[in-house]
């Protein structure tokens, strides 16, 4: 049973030190018990948190847990996504995200999108991804100080996914601003009060209007981008609505940009703290195959994902009733010593093992192949293109978010510059 000395777990209200390094907190709970009951709510469903690798895998891959709160509760009036009912535009967008769907709808949409994220398509994109990375590094110029988030890690994946969707370059800054605003609705961002929902609602309205116009423009079009593919599929009888297309585009844009941004910023922080590993990677003509995987395991950009109990079941020491909320802590599972020897060490030569940085089961990240390519190309560009990366000072501000986890600001003093 969990230790009586530990408070009920919650992903909200963390201090800045623990947000920057949550792993000692995870360790204390994981060593006490593999599953913990959450802090008491205000009339909502009971929440449980899975900390160990085995229990997280069970939650992500077992049929007893799913993504639809309505199925779990047995009440069709239940809010299906974690968005208050009054924020209609935000709910309409989020309800159509692949990550919140169950089969058969999930299966149909994932199958439709799968070909656009295949290894062969991503391989064809690699030269353009590399070109985008080098263009961004050139824009940073020879600055004494550079914000790696604003100048590289954030715009890089936005530019890549925009190429895939067929969005003109002049709209990229606007898309990035709205993607950031949409992320303000994250349920663990507690310090901003309800203002985050209002900003996310406004961004959702902007996105909906933009992508609806783009859908209309693509009727009968022969462009080869992903947005045109979705429109053609709907016109050909695929079970896609305009709202479904809008939601899918916003999901690909926001999820794809936030995860890669966080990965690159945290990878730079991890390597600056370990000069020997940084030198080892810089000396390699190509990154070792396991380097990106190890960085993803060591400090994943997504720390937690939510599921719902579809039936009464046992999890750890608890009887979990149908309708309960279950949070799988990917960050904790990736540091479980029962699965990964010396889990707190960053070992880029670590033998391959299945980390949970991209999840598991039917909701395993659709864009994992593209994300790996962005991570590899982006990281190598930073190692080769910023000679002062290994020295100098830094200023780091983490976002108040324990789900999409990473710095909102990473200002580096590049010591080798004149």
- Among 180-189, 261-270, 281-290, 329-338, which is the least confidently predicted range? 180-189
CB 98 within 8 A of CB 106: yes
Domains located in the chain, CATH noted: 16-413 (1.10.630.10)
Q: How far apart are CA 88 and CA 292, in angstroms?
A: 38
- Among 21-30, 182-191, 239-248, which is the least confidently predicted range? 182-191
Predicted local confidence at residue 1, as pLDDT: 61
Provide the token pair at 241: 């609505």
Q: pTM for the full model?
A: 0.89
Q: How far apart are CA 74 and CA 322, in angstroms?
A: 9
pLDDT digits (tens, 9 = 90+) for 267-318: 999 999 999 999 999 888 788 878 999 999 999 999 999 999 999 999 999 9
Model confidence at 30, pLDDT cuts 50, 70, 90, reads: very high
Predicted local confidence at residue 3, as pLDDT: 66
Concatenated DSSP letters of 69-111:
HHHHHT-TTS-SSSS-TT-HHHHHHHTT-GGG--TTHHHHHHH
Q: How far is CA 156 from CA 141, 341, 349, in A?
A: 16, 33, 27
């Amino acid at each position: 049973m969990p230790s009586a000395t530990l408070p009920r777990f919650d992903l909200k209200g963390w201090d800045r030190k623990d947000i920057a390094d949550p792993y000692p907190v995870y360790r204390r709970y994981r060593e006490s018990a593999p599953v913990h009951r959450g802090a008491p709510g205000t009339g909502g469903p009971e929440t449980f948190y899975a900390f160990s690798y085995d229990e997280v895998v069970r939650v992500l891959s077992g049929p007893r847990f799913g993504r639809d709160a309505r199925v779990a509760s047995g009440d069709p009036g239940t809010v299906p996504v974690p968005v208050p009912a009054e924020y209609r535009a935000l709910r309409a967008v989020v309800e159509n995200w692949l990550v919140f769907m169950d089969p058969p709808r999930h299966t149909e949409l994932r199958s439709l999108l799968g070909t656009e994220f295949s290894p062969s398509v991503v391989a064809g994109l690699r030269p353009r991804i590399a070109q985008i990375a080098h263009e961004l590094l050139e824009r940073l110029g020879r600055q004494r100080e550079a914000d790696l988030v604003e100048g590289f890690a954030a715009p890089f994946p936005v530019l890549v996914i925009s190429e895939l969707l067929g969005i003109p370059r002049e709209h990229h800054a606007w898309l990035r601003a709205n993607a950031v605003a949409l992320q303000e609705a994250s349920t663990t961002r507690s310090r901003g009060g309800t203002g985050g929902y209002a900003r996310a609602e406004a961004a959702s309205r902007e996105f909906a209007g933009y992508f609806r116009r783009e859908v209309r423009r693509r009727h009968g079009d022969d462009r080869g981008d992903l947005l045109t593919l979705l429109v053609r599929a709907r016109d050909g009888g695929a079970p896609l609505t305009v709202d479904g297309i809008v939601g899918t585009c916003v999901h690909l844009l926001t999820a794809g940009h936030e995860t890669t941004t966080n990965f690159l910023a945290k990878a730079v922080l991890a390597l600056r703290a370990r000069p020997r590993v940084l030198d080892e990677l810089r000396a390699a003509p190509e990154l070792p195959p396991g380097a990106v995987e190890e960085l993803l395991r060591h400090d994943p950009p997504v720390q937690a994902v939510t599921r719902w109990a579809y039936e009464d079941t046992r999890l750890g020491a608890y009887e979990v009733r149908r309708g309960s909320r279950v949070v799988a802590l990917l960050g904790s599972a990736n540091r479980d010593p029962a699965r990964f020897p010396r889990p707190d060490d960053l070992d880029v030569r670590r033998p391959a093992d299945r980390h949970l940085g991209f999840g598991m089961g039917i909701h395993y990240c659709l864009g994992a192949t593209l994300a790996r390519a962005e991570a590899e190309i982006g990281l190598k560009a930073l190692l080769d293109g910023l000679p002062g990366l290994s020295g100098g000072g830094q200023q780091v501000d983490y976002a108040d978010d324990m789900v999409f986890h990473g710095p909102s600001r990473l200002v580096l003093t590049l010591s080798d510059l004149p």
